[in-house]
Structure 1
Amino acid sequence: MKPLRIAAALPVAAVLLLTACTSSADIEAEARADSTGSSETVLVVDTSPEQADRVRTDEDPDAAELVPADIAEDGVLRVGITGAGDPPLGFLADDNSTVVGSEVDIAQLVADGLGLELEVVNTTWEGWPLGVQSGDLEAVFSNVGVNADRLQLFDFATYRQGIMAFVAAPDTDLSIAGAEDISGLRIGVGSGTNQERILLDWNAQLESEGQEPAQLEYYVSAGDALLAIQSGRLDTYLGPNSNAVYQASVGDVEVVGTVNAGWPNTTYVAATTLKGNGLVTAIQASLQHAFDDGTYEQTLERWGLQDEAVDAPEINPTVAS
């Protein structure tokens, strides 16, 4: 078990190194020692391959009946998840082999509701589209955002909002909700990302109003950006909220603002299936079952991702062109 304290961050690489080199007993002892006399809530996340604390649900017969016969035949739902090291979404457990994380947990709820055994395939971001199209993967739960191009080839059932988060040094007075709050700041961002587009649009707005734009500094590695924050070379960094929540729980940054990745529109993260094969309808029904019985909410809370919750799962939501 690995202790995570909300509002704290080491770079992800350091977190994973700690996991690999420290025994569960040592970690739990450290958690108890660190939490003594502290008013902060300590969130203990299970990094074991067994995942005994994973939230589970029961079968929904109505949803199970919707599974296409060729997929239901072997009693298995084969799901692709990128497990190369992207906590809390998908990363390798203490055995350096088993993929665990919030995406696995959501996939497990869906498989449970459909009465199927979950088979997790550790895939790559580059490889999942071909995996779905070839039939090697029946679905993907891997932080896939719904966009117009993907809707041409795949069907989607939404289960999270695509949220980006600003992180900064602890106890900062920063609070970022819009363009007016970034004027004059030094902001780290990845080139060619949704978050860069948002910041460029906000800078254009500031300049049109005669205000000083933010200074954007480009980073390939989020870990490098976090080090720059800790050393005072950056005021803030804008990246995926899921990663920010995890990093804030284990080190020395805090989340100071969020924005939807599709700003000014809304972007969703969704279960991804082959276009037209019918599986998405069953997945949406199974997700609805988990929404209704509370296990969806419990699963997001397990990983600190409550802010990314959606009101209900939706098939192929309308997206801005």
Structure 2
Amino acid sequence: MSRTVLRPRRPAAIVALGAALALSACTSSAEIEADQRAGSASDAASEAAGSTPLSVDTSPEQADRVRTDEAPDAAALVPADIGEDGVLTVGVNGSGEPPLGFLADDNATVVGSEVDVAQLVADALGLELEVVNTSWEQWPLGVQSGDLEAVFSNVGVNAERLQLFDFATYRQGIMAFTARTGSGLTIEEPADIAGLTLAVGSGTNQERILLDWTAQNEAAGLEPATLEYYAVASDALLGVQSGRIDAYLGPNPNAVYQESVNAEVEVVGTVNAGWPNTTYVAATTLKGNGLVEAFEAALQHAFDDGSYAATLERWGLSDEAVDEPVVNPPVGS
């Protein structure tokens, strides 16, 4: 059994909450090995500081996965045509890095926090979980065609998607600023990025936030930030480590992981992907097929028995917990 050691998440100021949809990168075997070596050094430093590292299973067997029991009231809500085969088929993007969705040590099995949440839902509904490795670009078609009954893949709720899909929320999607360790930076508001050079993915929510913040700063007479565009997160992080980039804005879960395995970077602030509004990450299914009510009840069961909180804690994502699942939450609130 292989394990990656994660240091406990250092609290970061939360500017707002939201749906993290953006840049992620495939991690090669060489990069994973390098990250694990860096993680060993980081773990040693953490132990020296008196904190306890969190050990996460990266094997395909997932012996540490948190499970729950069947909730008959939730199971009764599953539409007959969906539940008749006894299987819940969900799409998860396995091309990223921990903790959301990534390939286990066998380079074939999709594991991660998104799979674990889907497992809780399947358990509560009395269904067997079938995970399909689905690219980000293909999940909408997969759901609309019926090949996927649902998607658990860091999908954020927005007005456009609400026209086609139903959602049951289970996590805040927070964006995080990652900087070089010891930089002294704290990024909590627009004024904090004045004059900085920031890495970001083109066409992402993060880019929109940084452009909005920069426009606000310029209107206030502050120096604008300089944006550097990266298609791959690992390249942006190399820029941060080398000092070419002051900070990189990307999905918080990936930032938490990088902070845990790479002693040279740290999270220095967070912001809502829908800033200045609040959005959420949710289980996604075809609009009107009746499954979303079952998902809401299944998630509530996992919330009530503690398996939901334990699952987020397992992956260092307790900061992104929500109080309760909500079906099709209002956007722009």
TM-score using structure 1 length: 0.92
* CA distance in 2 between partners of 1:18 and 1:222 (Å): 12
Aligned ranges 1:141-290 → 2 under 5 Å: 141-251=152-262, 252-290=264-302
- Matched with 2:141 is 130
* CA distance in 2 between partners of 1:132 and 1:13 (Å): 23
Aligned ranges 1:103-118 → 2 under 5 Å: 103-118=114-129
* CA distance in 2 between partners of 1:87 and 1:100 (Å): 9
Structure 2 residue 331 is matched with structure 1 residue 292: no
* CA distance in 1 between partners of 2:88 and 2:202 (Å): 36
Distance 1:196 1:95, change over 3 A: same
Structure 2 residue 310 is matched with structure 1 residue 311: no
The structural deviation recorded for 1:320 is: 2.6
- Matched with 2:17 is none
One-letter amino acid of the counterpart of residue 98, structure 1: T
One-letter amino acid of the counterpart of residue 229, structure 2: Y
- Matched with 2:14 is none
Two-structure CA RMSD over aligned residues (Å): 2.6
Tell me the alpha carbon deviations over residues 175-200 of structure 1, each in whole angstroms, 9 at most, x when there is no partner: 11100111111111111110111111
1:90 to 101, 104, 108: 101
* CA distance in 2 between partners of 1:259 and 1:304 (Å): 18
| Alignment length (residue pairs) | 317
Is this contact kept in 2: 1:93–1:100, CA < 8 A? yes
- Matched with 1:6 is 7
* CA distance in 1 between partners of 2:220 and 2:32 (Å): 48
Is this contact kept in 1: 2:39–2:261, CA < 8 A? no
Distance 1:277 1:12, change over 3 A: closer
The structural deviation recorded for 1:134 is: 1.1
The structural deviation recorded for 1:32 is: 8.5
- Matched with 1:101 is 112
Tell me the alpha carbon deviations over residues 251-286 of structure 1, each in whole angstroms, 9 at most, x when there is no partner: 121000000100000111110001101000000100
The structural deviation recorded for 1:37 is: 4.3
The structural deviation recorded for 1:88 is: 1.1
TM-score using structure 2 length: 0.89
Is this contact kept in 2: 1:166–1:176, CA < 8 A? yes
Tell me the alpha carbon deviations over residues 34-90 of structure 1, each in whole angstroms, 9 at most, x when there is no partner: 776453432211010100100001111100000000111111111111111332111
- Matched with 1:320 is 332
Is this contact kept in 2: 1:165–1:256, CA < 8 A? yes
Distance 1:14 1:62, change over 3 A: closer
Is this contact kept in 2: 1:5–1:41, CA < 8 A? no
2:50 to 9, 16, 39: 39
Tell me the alpha carbon deviations over residues 87-135 of structure 1, each in whole angstroms, 9 at most, x when there is no partner: 2111111111110000000000000000111011111111111111111
One-letter amino acid of the counterpart of residue 3, structure 1: T
Distance 1:215 1:34, change over 3 A: closer
Tell me the alpha carbon deviations over residues 5-39 of structure 1, each in whole angstroms, 9 at most, x when there is no partner: 4279xx966674365799x9x99999987776453
Percent sequence identity is: 70
The structural deviation recorded for 1:292 is: 0.8
Is this contact kept in 2: 1:2–1:28, CA < 8 A? no
* CA distance in 2 between partners of 1:219 and 1:304 (Å): 26
Is this contact kept in 2: 1:7–1:250, CA < 8 A? no
Is this contact kept in 2: 1:2–1:19, CA < 8 A? no
Is this contact kept in 2: 1:3–1:27, CA < 8 A? no
Is this contact kept in 1: 2:6–2:43, CA < 8 A? no
* CA distance in 2 between partners of 1:28 and 1:213 (Å): 35
One-letter amino acid of the counterpart of residue 2, structure 1: R
Distance 1:80 1:187, change over 3 A: same
Distance 1:7 1:297, change over 3 A: closer
Structure 2 SS opposite 1:239: strand
Distance 1:205 1:33, change over 3 A: closer
* Runs of at least 5 residues in structure 1 that lack an aligned partner in the other structure: none
Structure 2 SS opposite 1:49: coil
